[in-house]
A and B are shown apart, each in its own frame.
Chain A
Amino acid sequence: MKVESLVPRSGEADLSAVLKQVGRASSPPPFSEAAVDFCAAFATRLGRDPQARRYPELTALAFWIRRAELERLRREFAALENDSLLRAPRGLVFHVPPGNVDTMFVYSWLLGLLCGNRNIIRLSRNRDEPVEILCRIAGEALAEADPLLQAGNAVVSYAHEAEINAALSAACDTRVVWGGDSTVALFRHFPLAPHGTEIVFPDRFSFAALRAEAVLALDEAALAQLAEQFYNDAYWFHQLGCSSPRLAVWVGTADACRAAGDRFFPAVAETVRRKHYELPAAARMRRFTFECESILDRPVAGRRDLGRELACLRLETLEDFSREHCGGGLFWEYFAEHLGEIETMLDRRDQTLTHFGFPADELRAAARAWNGRGLDRIVPVGRALQFDRYWDGMDLFAALTRCVAVQS
């Protein structure tokens, strides 16, 4: 079985050779100096690469794996261990990142690597420029890294070959499957080793809650900043990231909610223009069609048309709220009197709530009240896409390691 090897070397490779090499490499301990140095070097190269700097999501990735952040992660990891409990790597981790969120494979890979695992990452055949940039820089950084890491990590690409998926699934100790419901369902066909574990990331939905009075109280500069943060959350992945907000819940009196929306969305549209966000013509067409379908099928009570950049449909109720969405700058709006009102619409697909204008204790109280329903992350507007070890309700440090009890 042949695969295309992308990192550490590019070219055709035999799957069994890749498996043999990665499988036989030794595992360094979690947060080894070699692993931290490699990630930091990756970050530095990525941050300075002129080609990479054209993509904000690559800058955000570089920031996330810079040395200061790695140091923070290392301390957090250390807190998981004590005198009688060690955290050991799972072994070989097979990563199936989403084909379409370009940076995700690096987050997935590096978390696996920092935890001490050996890693095989499967990329799809259709790769956009950011992925090619990342593979190039990863290759450069790995070439200068500890040979242990060079032997124990491989990024490969192949088409739909079921045999390869099956072989890697059987060989790995942990399989990490991104890419939503369909990809998760597909990989369930490929058995894992009896001891194998699986981390899956199914389809998710995310939204924002903004306190109307707080938005109305902003001065122009602060409004522009909030709009830019919201833009970053929503538009980087055409609003199709699992954490991208697609619904804006305004909290306040109906008048305040309306006024806040009238102020906020034009500012967002202005940011979208300023950032030269490009929505493909076909995607705008699909958005418009989806809007029309929604007007006919959902309790739509109002619409904002801010041209190419943005459209909003206000929903009368969130009862039976359908999470289907077209992406590309369409926002549901809903006016709520209290944050607690959204409780009944929440379900397990809901991942990230980005918030603005709420006191911390109100957020914590809400999270507690909603605990049996949904939402895995409650973060300020602007941090929707900020990846973290806690994702989709899991602690990935814990999921990517084993507990070893040591009693003396």
Chain B
Amino acid sequence: MSASVSTLKKAFQDGLAIPADTDFENLTYRGIPQWDSIAHLQLVMEIENNFDVMLPTEDVIDLSSFQKAREILAKHGVTLEA
């Protein structure tokens, strides 16, 4: 399955409650105050809902940056196109 990278940005935006003009590519867990342990749960739920995937616990823990999110999605068969 392929999806748009903007869908992932939207998931980050909604999950972490951050603005649309965020520098997504350089986002990291706890790198910004908004991405704390609770917002992280929101983010996981947004990604799962938007891409119709189910992330096991190891992926939930591993999801520590925007880049990681791409890799994890790829692992679940979702490729992102710009």
Contact = CB atoms under 8 A, between A and B. Distances in A.
Contact between A and B in the complex (any CB pair below 8 Å): yes
Interface of A: 43-44, 47-48, 53, 56, 59-60, 62-63, 66-68, 71-72, 221, 224-225, 228-229, 232, 274, 382
Contact of A44 (B14, B17, B45): B45
Contacts, number: 43
Main secondary structure on B side of the interface with A = helix
8 contacts: A47-B42, A47-B46, A53-B17, A53-B42, A56-B38, A59-B38, A72-B56, A224-B30
B54 A71 contact: yes
B9 to A, nearest CB: 17
Nearest to B38: A56
Given A44-B49, A67-B54, A68-B48, A62 B30 contact: no
Contacts of B37: 225, 228-229, 232, 382
Contact residues on B (Cβ < 8 Å of other chain), bracket: 10 to 19
Q: Identify which of A43, A67, A71, A224 gathers the most chain B CB atoms within 10 Å of its CB.
A: A67
A47 B54 contact: no
Chief secondary structure at chain A's binding surface:
helix
Among B14, B17, B37, B46, the one with the most A-chain Cβ atoms within 10 Å of its Cβ is: B37
A103 to B, nearest CB: 13
A63 B54 CA distance: 12
Contacts of B41: 59-60, 62-63
A224 B33 CA distance: 12
Q: Which 4 A-B pairs have the closest CB atoms?
A: A68-B54, A63-B41, A56-B38, A47-B45
Nearest to B55: A68
A382 B17 CA distance: 22
B63 interface: no
